[in-house]
Amino acid sequence: MRIARYIGKRLIFILPQLLGIILVSFLLVKMIPGDPAVLMLGPFASDEQLASMRSQLGLDGTILDQFWIYLTGLFEGDLGTSWQTTRPVLEDLLQRFPATLELITLSLLLALLIGIPLGVAAAYFKRSVVKKFSDYYGLLAGALPDFWLGLVLIYFFYTLLNWAPPPLGRMGIAVLAPPPVTNFVIIDSILDGNWAALWSALGHLMLPVITLGVINAGPILKMTQSTMERMLESDFVRYAEMCGLPEGQVIRQAFRNSLPSVVTIVSVLYGFLIGGAVLVEIVFSWGGAGQYAVQGVLNADINPVLGFVLFSAILSLVIYLLVDLIYFTIDPRIRD
């Protein structure tokens, strides 16, 4: 019942938060230089044609009038139309967001597999090669640009060694794509039993996942190491060691008390990578949601940008709510 009441209180504030995010995003997007009517009709369009197009786009009113028109359509499930793709923004995002989520989810799983063991080992073996390696790795991961690492991996594993497929999207051109059920290529390939498509999707995921996973393992490593060092020096760990508990059990207890900090950094990274992975998406021609929003900014196509912000905000709020529920599970102090 406590968890249900907590969730209910959080859900009450979701709608006002979304309205505030949409308002701020709308005002900021309107400050982007460029006239959509000119970009759509070209520089040789007449004044009458430009005025007619602005009227069709709802750009002839005040900022508040334009925001009210957008908000009214939003409550009706209409995110507008992208003049670049000539398709509804909702359809574009439902197709492109799974591509981004698939990429960043697998990347964070790889980052966890790298960062957590290295962080625990570095905290426990304070004067060892592992400690020095983790320190240098964390420093290097924080300094390397992800798009540069992606280009280096493409050069070695595709250009020189020919071990990886060409960086031209989520699947090979000659492979028959599975029917779009969830728009997650891996899931749709399994549901369809299309193992050729599954193998092609995993091959195309390899280099971008390694790129983002290696870079984002650095913050996870540092957070795990710092919290584990504090836990290993705490009174309850010293008492457990004095009682003669095995080292493995002591480490597990210390790591369990470090989990809230690790969960926090993972949730922050997940929310950041929704838009922060855009350069990697561009390098690998991924066609994700971040790349879609950047193209909208460059071409004064505001509907894709606002739709991306809305989707990202909803996903971030859901992630933070799930993180709070995880806190309830792993930390008994919060439950009490």
pLDDT on residue 220: 93
Look at residue 335 in the predicted model and tell me its pLDDT. 60
**Mean pLDDT (whole number) for 17-32:** 84
pLDDT at position 120 over 80: yes
| 29 and 109 part of one domain | no
pLDDT tens figures, 28-44: 887 777 667 776 777 77
Who contacts 209 (Cβ-Cβ below 8 Å, separation ≥6)? 103, 106, 107, 110
- Assign 291 a pLDDT band (cuts: 50, 70, 90): confident
User: Are both 79 and 98 inside the same structural domain?
Assistant: no
For residue 64, count CB atoms less than 10 angstroms from its CB and return exposed for 0-12, middle for 13-18, buried for 19 or more.
exposed
Q: Specify whether 75 is located in the same domain as 102.
A: no
Task: Return the ∠ at Cα 265 (arms to 4 and 211), rounded to 5°.
Answer: 130
Answer with the one of 65, 88, 111 that is the final residue of a domain. Answer: 88
172 and 80 assigned to the same domain: no
Element (H, E) at 286: none
Q: What single string gives the DSSP state of each residue in 180-237?
A: -SSS-HHHHHHHHT-HHHHHHHHHHHHHHHHHHHHHHHHHHHHHHHHHHHHHHTSHHH
One domain for residues 22 and 168: no
Count of residues in the chain: 336
What is the tens place of the pLDDT at every residue in 138-197? 888 888 899 999 999 999 999 998 898 888 888 877 778 888 888 899 999 999 888 988
The identity of residue 297, as a single letter, is: V
Q: pTM, whole model, 2 decimals?
A: 0.87
Which of 68, 88, 108 delimits the end of a domain?
A: 88
Last residue in a domain, options 42, 61, 88: 88
Q: Do 46 and 104 belong together in one domain?
A: no
Query: Which pLDDT value is given to residue 20?
Result: 87
Strand-pairing partners, residue 82, are 87
Residue pLDDT, tens place only, 316-330? 888 888 888 888 777
Q: Which residue has the higher pLDDT, 61 or 277?
A: 277
Q: Residue 1: its pLDDT value, please?
A: 67
Its domain, for residue 324, covers 93-335
Measured CA to CA, the distance from residue 139 to residue 126 in angstroms comes to 17
Do 260 and 322 lie in one domain? The reply is yes
The number of distinct structural domains making up the chain is: 2
CATH of the domain at 160: 1.10.3720.10
pLDDT digits (tens, 9 = 90+) for 55-84: 777 777 778 888 888 888 888 888 888 877
How far is it, in rounded angstroms, from Cα 119 to Cα 176?
Answer: 42
How far is Cα 149 from Cα 253, in angstroms, rounded to an integer?
A: 36
Please, which pLDDT band fits residue 284 given cuts at 50, 70 and 90?
very high
- Asked if 294 and 275 count as a contact pair (C-beta separation under 8 A), the reply is no
Who has greater pLDDT, 222 or 331? 222
Cβ atoms of 200 and 169 closer than 8 Å: no
Residue 240, pLDDT score:
83
Alpha helix locations (H) across the chain? 2-12, 14-30, 36-41, 47-57, 63-75, 89-124, 129-143, 146-153, 185-192, 195-232, 235-242, 247-276, 278-283, 289-298, 302-330, 332-335
Claim to verify: residue 218 and residue 284 sit in the same structural domain? yes
Task: Give the bridge partners for 87, in sequence order.
Answer: 82
Check whether residue 233 and residue 316 sit in a common domain.
yes
Tell me the per-residue pLDDT of 199-242, one tens digit each, with 9 for 90 and over. Answer: 999 999 999 999 999 999 999 999 999 999 888 888 888 888 88
The predicted-structure confidence for 82-111, as pLDDT tens digits, reads as follows 877 888 888 899 989 999 999 999 999 999
DSSP state of 82: E
